[in-house]
Amino acid sequence: MLIQGRLQRIATGVLAASAFALLGADSRQSRFSSTLHVTGMTFVSSRGSASELVLVAQRAELRPETNLAVLDGVHVSAMDPDQTRSFDVRCDRGELDVDTNDFLAEGDVHGSTGEGQRYQTTWVRYDHARGLLYTDAPVAMEDASGSFRGDGFRYDTRKRSFRLLGNVSVVQKP
């Protein structure tokens, strides 16, 4: 019995060492990526029963070593704690930090705010901790009062205020 118990422990140790070697130390294994490719991804961030952020992407690469999702064909909707729409963004590609819910949208970026401002630009970034959607790229914006252009914008989701930055001009319609 004593010898059989020792043999089992030795065999278990050898198997465990072999498994660790295959998972990490084997040079052939290090060529493989842990990236996960997903088609038709939906990511929902919620607090309690309320959704804060809903992101839908046609394609995604999930990179667990950095907690980053690299996305194609993206639509993001953000909600306030009272479940009214705060803003939405559509873009060709983006990146989502799964830990912080921060994201970057790039390529034919357009969207709107809960207050009715509609914008178009080349990129926007959302800083979840600060509740700030922003860009420093040229932007075209339209709302009930008219059409405008500027060198960027800041949208404070908590105060629900939209501010155009630098060289703001009114675009007159013919």
The phi-psi region of residue 144 (left if phi > 0; otherwise alpha if psi is between -120 and 50; otherwise beta) is: alpha
Is 44 found in the same domain as 3? no
Residue 82 and residue 37 in one domain:
yes
CA dist list (Å): 67 to 13, 114, 149: 32, 29, 35
Any idea what the Cα angle at residue 84 is, between residues 79 and 88, rounded to 5°?
50
pLDDT of residue 10: 33
**CATH number of the domain where residue 50 is located:** 2.60.450.10
The verdict on 91 and 151 lying in the same domain is yes
What is the number of structural domains in the chain? 2
Q: How confident is the model at residue 55 (pLDDT cuts 50, 70, 90)?
A: very high
Phi, psi (deg, nearest 5) at residue 65: -70, -25
Strands 85-97 and 68-79: antiparallel
Task: Give the number of C-alpha atoms closer than 13 A to the C-alpha of residue 135, restricted to the C-beta side.
Answer: 24
Residue 97 shares a structural domain with residue 61: yes
What percent of the chain is predicted at pLDDT more than 90? 48
pTM: 0.75
Q: Which of 5-14, 49-58, 140-149 has the highest mean pLDDT?
A: 140-149
* 126 burial type by CB count under 10 A (0-12 exposed, 13-18 middle, 19+ buried): buried
28 or 12: whose pLDDT is higher?
A: 28
| Domain coverage including residue 22 | 1-32
Q: What is the pLDDT of residues 94-112, one digit of tens each?
A: 999 988 989 999 999 999 9
Token duo for residue 44: 């929902």
Phi, psi of 102 (to 5 degrees): -75, 145
Q: What is the pLDDT of residue 24?
A: 39
Residue 49 sits in the same domain as residue 4? no
C-alpha span between 88 and 154 (Å, rounded):
14
Q: What is the pLDDT of residue 8?
A: 37
Which is nearest to 55 in space by CA: 80, 88, 83?
Answer: 88
Phi, psi of 11 (to 5 degrees): -60, -40
